[in-house]
Amino acid sequence: MANTSAAIALVILIIILIVLIAASGIFKLANKSTKQASNTISNTTKSNNTSIQNKTLQNINYTNSSRLQYCNSFEAIINYYNTTESFRCYSPSNTSIGVWTYSGRSLYINITVSKLNQTNSSILNYSFVESPDISLFDAINLTKGYYSIIIHSSNRYTYYPVQYPYVIVSFNTTTKPAYKVYNYIYNGNFQSGKLYGWITNGSAFTGSYNKNLTDSNQQLKEPANITYANDNYCYEGNPWNNLYGTKYFITNFNCGSNYFNGSITSYPFIIDEPFITFQAIGNPSNYTYIALVANNTNQSYLIAHIYTYNSTTLVSNISTFRNFTIPVESLEGKIVRFRVVSVIRGKRLNLFAISNIKLSQSPLVNQDANINITAGNYTG
């Protein structure tokens, strides 16, 4: 009997062990299944988030201001003139960003970039950006964080509607324009305060007047800022005036009694309009002039001298910009460079200044100053 009881107890113990082992296996299997399900959900969610993020960063609908993009690949298109759109972008680290713009030949762009949730955080705030083609407007430095971008498109010519009213603003890590042939005069109004698209040689036109008026040796490679110059009495006679659409210009004047040697030359462009227009100040001396230079040589197609003030006396209009036009229809299809030259140092009353240089379908109106155009030494 005792043996029988012991046998029964052993069988029961074995059964209990089998049940426990089986239960343990089921628990592990269930736990594994749960983890697998959890991982599946996690991966699916991650995949979906990545997909959503990619679509968001690509910003398929650029005019949807609620979409967030990375700052180093931001792009916005506004399809209407007289329209304001707000955007946001994220910079994951400190980085330099090139701000590239397009407004055609009939629109202006107003751009404001500021860091979110910070006072006095404006990084870029400028009106009247003019870009006949995609071009570098400015290079800005961003720190890690979120940014607000406000873009306004406005009609440059209010007396007739724009045929293709859209503007493009694009951010990327390219902060220098390529040296190539353009179909317009690159940065002809120096609107960002930089000399993008121009090559300087010598001391003239390099902007030393913008930093320290007492040290003429500091070369910043920047155009003159009309507001800064006037506030610091950096002019001859009366303050600079009559410059429209931009507050920047280039000049050989150095906020003193000297005018410096040097030249500044545009990147090459193809002439596809009958006129080149600009605003300038100068006198008809041989010390300062404009030349249209062939692309692959320093020989010129033409040379222009302008006359806006009397070089024998310091008169009030020495700081007044005037409108000028150079007919270039005979050079249609030619690849040229626009060069400004100052070949005298230290001689009074040889001031030269220029801005708003562009190809145009028509001459500028209100041309109340003289220009003398002569043929150059190149006929290629």
- pLDDT digit string, tens, across residues 180-233: 999 999 999 998 888 999 999 887 887 655 444 334 444 457 899 999 889 988
Q: Which residue has the tokens 């400004």?
A: 340
Helix boundaries (H) for the chain: 2-58, 226-231
Distance CA 190, CA 248 (A): 6
* Separation of alpha carbons 264 and 284, rounded Å: 19
Burial of residue 354 (CB within 10 Å: 0-12, 13-18, 19+) is buried
For 354, the token pair is 């220029």
pLDDT in tens, 74-129: 999 888 888 899 999 999 999 999 999 988 777 788 899 999 988 888 898 877 77
The sign one gets for the Cα dihedral 269, 291, 349, 263 is: positive
Q: What is the CATH number of domain 198-375?
A: 2.60.120
Average pLDDT, the chain: 78
Residue corresponding to tokens 């493009």 = 168
Q: Do domains 68-172 and 198-375 have the same CATH topology?
A: yes
- Whole-angstrom CA distances from 269 to 185, 188, 190, 277 are 6, 11, 16, 15
CATH number of 68-172: 2.60.120.260
Q: Where are the domains of the chain?
A: 68-172, 198-375
Cβ neighbors of 210 (< 8 A, separation 6 or more) are 220, 222, 224, 225, 228
